[in-house]
Amino acid sequence: MANQNLLSLSTFSLFLSTKPALNLSMLPSKTPLFFFYFFFISTLFTNSFSSPVSITLTPKTLTKSGDSVKIQWTGIESPSDYDWLGIYSPPNSSNDNYIGYVYLSSCKNWKSGSCSIELPLVNLRSNYEFRIFRWTEKEIDKKNLDHDHNPLPGTKHLLAKSKELGFELGGGPEQIHLALTEKDDEMRVMFITGDGKENYVKYGEEEDEMDEMVKTVVRRYEREDMCDSPANESIGWRDPGFIHDGVMKNLKMEKRYYYKVGSDSGGWSATHSFMSWDGNSDETNAFLFGDMGTSTPYLTFMRTQDESKSTLKWVLRDIEALGDKPSFISHIGDISYARGYSWLWDTFFTQIEPVASKVPYHVCIGNHEYDWPLQPWKPDWAQTVYKMDGGGECGVPYSLKFTMPGNSSVLTGTRAPATRNLYYSFNSGVVHFVYMSTETNFLPGSDQYNFIKHDLENVDRKKTPFVVVQGHRPMYTTSNEGRDAPLRDRMLEHYEPLFVKNKVTIALWGHVHRYERFCPMKNYTCGEEEEGLPVHVVIGMAGQDWQPIWEPRPDHPKDPIFPQPERSLYRAGEFGYTRLFATKEKLTLTYIGNHDGEPHDMVEILSSGRVLKGVADSSNKVVVKSTFSWFVKGASILVLGAFMGYVIGFISHAKRVAASGTSWTPVKSDDV
């Protein structure tokens, strides 16, 4: 019986074979055998744990979203190229349910086994934890891939866990963004809290006299509201917090107002300001783009959009240059590219807050907010159009996190709340803006078609001589993207006659991640300058880095030669955005490139409908004729044009492979 508690002879022999320095003859003959057992265990313990891996966090608590934590690790023996740091929130997440990861080899001195990195983090309303895993090349699972078809790291060998990292309490709400309502003397503000308790908006014309206060309404959605994976699975779902919605009322026209949101118990936000609206203004300023997404400081399951940071940097510059002139942002579909990974919505709203807390941020729905296999409207011709691009969200986060003017909605056919913010319109100065949904029923007889037809037929052209229509999927494009051809055919059949008859000035589209401006045209044919035909412009170049090729020659589809049709006057692959400036006499739309923040293309349209020539000459100089001094800091600007714009734009978003320390090569998929 005593022998059952002693080291087995075979194990002990193995121990002796690996420790030749130990000589049994040197030991007393009657030394108890348990001494050897104790010595063996102690030796193993010392060899295995003499340098345990540890993770240290500095600071131990963050103040607000965007603050950085320093993550330091020590004690990793024989580091592997593939060892990685997992980022977890909440801390009780299983090993494979991380929100992101960083390869330790991204740190300069990683081979020493000790190093540190700094990561800015977003407040997800639950604590963070960090874990280090050993992963080797032999363990790569070629079936478990990320969005770029690179292997997702394995979680078999956990080396260390950190203590939890949280955010200070009482810091007030976050993710603040503005929107217009149906009334010129109002401004909507929305934000997120973690507990859903009563919150308020304080506002006033003086920063130290915010005497007006309005209570917010609160709503949220649950995991069960999601329609498909990954949105309704543990890998993608995180608690979204509580969405607050308040409306500031009785605002004086075109005045600067100061505001903050929160409560005495939960804390107040920093003070922000905005310019109130003036429905009778004689000019319009706007910043317009599609398909921007968001950027993360770590790798995750889906590709994120680094170029979104540059877009917002230049837009913020232009907003600040406007001073006390009202403006707004228009983001026409494919908003955050969360696609079922809910923390990317938090990242997106944190990223846009510096601009969206200053000016109204308006949106329309795109395929990556909505599409899922059982969506209620999916005619036979649309089987190639509407797929699984929404990641199972079925429009729920989009519908609740934004509130646009109007009351358009459509039922999902599930327990999920109705999809909202589909189509609406408003006046901004001298321009009437119309938003439409290309993801829900837009055919004649639908509520949407009836709304748009009635809206276009009743525009007061004396008050708003210009009409701008916006939607996600384009009616015209020269990209080699055939999946949407059935949809484009129906838009041309049913909407182009409406646009032509009602003299729509410009139609703006996203979805294709490039910039392309067409001649004023109808049925693929350029018209006369004075004819007043719509100018179609694709502006989906704000951040998403998958870019389709242009349409090749029909008789040589596999050759990399892409002739530019006559109707396509300017097209480029550089990321950027457009800015719109209009008076009662003229509307100017300017394409700004992200690599230099300067104009690369421009179109000017008179209130008569005439499209002016000469905005871009053969030397690729943009000839700036507009009087808006905030657009131009000089008499003329020399910028890189189509060729350099294409090259730089195409390569500017290098995947963070270098930072990750791996040799994985991004492989772009058909992700529009």
- The reported pLDDT for the residue numbered 638 is 37
**pLDDT tens figures, 345-355:** 999 999 999 99
Is the pLDDT score of 446 beyond 60? yes
Neighbours of 59 (CB within 10 A): 12
- The reported pLDDT for the residue numbered 668 is 35
Is the pLDDT score of 39 beyond 50? no
CB 447 within 8 A of CB 408: yes
Mean pLDDT for all residues in the chain: 86
Is the pLDDT score of 43 beyond 70? no
Give the separation between CA 534 and CA 505, rounded to whole angstroms. 5
- Of the candidates 448, 459, 569, the one whose C-alpha atom is nearest the C-alpha of residue 503 is 459
Q: Which of 135-139, 154-158, 449-453, 470-474 has the lowest mean pLDDT?
A: 135-139
Residues 6+ away with beta carbon under 8 Å from 233: none
pLDDT higher for 625 or 310? 310
**pLDDT tens figures, 524-556:** 999 988 889 999 999 999 999 876 665 665 776
**Fold agreement between 54-167 and 174-552+569-612:** no
pTM of the model: 0.85
- Residue-wise burial string across 6-26, b where 16 or more C-beta atoms lie within 10 A, e elsewhere: ebeeeeeeebeeeeeeeeeee
pLDDT higher for 633 or 365? 365
Amino acid at position 371, single letter: D
**pLDDT tens figures, 287-303:** 999 999 999 999 999 99
Is the pLDDT score of 46 beyond 90? no
pLDDT higher for 450 or 626? 450
Residues 6+ away with beta carbon under 8 Å from 528: none
**pLDDT tens figures, 590-606:** 999 999 999 999 999 99
Neighbours of 469 (CB within 10 A): 26
Average pLDDT on 318-346 reads: 98
Q: Which of 92-96, 226-230, 254-258, 478-482 has the lowest mean pLDDT?
A: 478-482
Neighbours of 480 (CB within 10 A): 12
Is the pLDDT score of 19 beyond 60? no
- The reported pLDDT for the residue numbered 488 is 96
Give the separation between CA 298 and CA 86, rounded to whole angstroms. 9
pLDDT band at 146 (very low <50, low <70, confident <90, very high): confident
| CATH number corresponding to 54-167 | 2.60.40.2840
Q: CA 414 from chain center: how many Å?
A: 26
Dihedral through CA 655, CA 661, CA 665, CA 668, nearest 10? -30
pLDDT band at 479 (very low <50, low <70, confident <90, very high): confident
Pairing of strands 506-509, 466-471: parallel
**What does DSSP assign to residue 44?**
H
- List, in sequence order, every residue forming a beta bridge with 517; answer none if it has no partner: 537, 570
- List, in sequence order, every residue forming a beta bridge with 521; answer none if it has no partner: 526
- The reported pLDDT for the residue numbered 549 is 67
**pLDDT tens figures, 267-285:** 999 999 999 998 789 999 9
CB 124 within 8 A of CB 96: no
Give the residue extent of every domain in the chain: 54-167, 174-552+569-612
- The reported pLDDT for the residue numbered 33 is 46
- The reported pLDDT for the residue numbered 623 is 43
CB 505 within 8 A of CB 286: no
- The reported pLDDT for the residue numbered 421 is 98
pLDDT band at 10 (very low <50, low <70, confident <90, very high): very low
Question: Which residue blocks in 307-366 are alpha helix, DSSP H?
Answer: 307-322, 343-356
N-term to C-term CA, the chain: 71
Percent of the chain with pLDDT over 70: 81
Q: Which of 14-28, 58-72, 324-338, 572-586 has the lowest mean pLDDT?
A: 14-28
Which run of H or E residues covers position 16?
Answer: helix 9-18
Amino acid at position 327, single letter: S
Give the separation between CA 168 and CA 572, rounded to whole angstroms. 45
Average pLDDT on 346-368 reads: 98
| CATH number corresponding to 174-552+569-612 | 3.60.21.10
CB 249 within 8 A of CB 214: yes
CB 97 within 8 A of CB 341: no
Token pair, residue 312, equals 């917002």
pLDDT higher for 30 or 123? 123
Token pair, residue 476, equals 């015209």
Average pLDDT on 398-425 reads: 96
Dihedral through CA 426, CA 429, CA 432, CA 437, nearest 10? -50
Indicate the burial class of 226 (C-beta count within 10 angstroms; 0-12, 13-18, 19 or more). buried
Neighbours of 157 (CB within 10 A): 13
pLDDT higher for 344 or 24? 344
Which run of H or E residues covers position 572?
Answer: strand 568-572
Is the pLDDT score of 616 beyond 60? no
**pLDDT tens figures, 632-660:** 343 333 334 444 444 344 334 443 433 44
pLDDT band at 51 (very low <50, low <70, confident <90, very high): low
The three-point CA angle 240-246-248 to 5° equals 150
- The reported pLDDT for the residue numbered 643 is 40
Token pair, residue 98, equals 């991380």
- The reported pLDDT for the residue numbered 334 is 98
Residues 6+ away with beta carbon under 8 Å from 462: none
pLDDT higher for 52 or 650? 52
Indicate the burial class of 581 (C-beta count within 10 angstroms; 0-12, 13-18, 19 or more). buried
- Residue-wise burial string across 538-577, b where 16 or more C-beta atoms lie within 10 A, e elsewhere: bbbbbbbbbbbebbeeeeeeeeeeeeeeebbbbbbbbbbb
- Of the candidates 591, 587, 604, the one whose C-alpha atom is nearest the C-alpha of residue 640 is 591
Is the pLDDT score of 25 beyond 50? no
pLDDT higher for 448 or 556? 448
